[in-house]
Amino acid sequence: MPDSTFQVVHQKALERDAGFAVTLKFARLLGLRSQEMVQCSASLKSWRKQLEQPELKLHVVFSTKGGGPRQTRVLDVAAVEEAVEQAIAVAEQREGRLIDKPDLKQAMNYWRIHTTKIGLKGCHSPP
């Protein structure tokens, strides 16, 4: 997806929900899958520490495909640091959640419905 298209979509997401918008940033910057994004709030503080290390990889632990942890490469450290700080701020206001729903099923439904509403369909739909 071109940067200009992402900026439009991200702005629409930001108008709806800051937590939803930051999960989109993680999708863009880190290649996270939908369920990984919804549950990544548990990893935010460890990601903050990992970004201080010379190795530019983050460990994705929660909701990975196959159930095992994986690593994702950080290409734009400054942008990822900014997204992590934004996400921590949102999660602190929402009892540790980026998507403010009581369980994973409702959070995933919210995620899918809102990605469609902001125009992420077809080839632009998130994984």
Classify 72 as helix, strand or coil.
Answer: strand
| CB neighbour burial string for 75-101, b if at least 16 within 10 angstroms, e if fewer | eeeeebeebbebbbebbeeeeebbbbb
Q: Where are the domains of the chain?
A: 3-124
pLDDT above 90 for 68 = no
Spatial separation of the C-alpha atoms in residues 1 and 63, rounded to whole Å: 24
pTM for this prediction: 0.83
Per the prediction, the chain carries an average pLDDT of 85
118 Cα distance to chain centroid: 16
pLDDT above 80 for 81 = yes
User: What does each C-alpha distance from 38 to 3, 4, 54 come to in angstroms?
Assistant: 22, 24, 27
pLDDT above 70 for 15 = yes
Which residues, including other chains, have CB under 8 Å from residue 74's CB and lie 6 or more apart?
Answer: 29, 30, 51, 56, 57, 58, 80
Spatial separation of the C-alpha atoms in residues 118 and 100, rounded to whole Å: 18
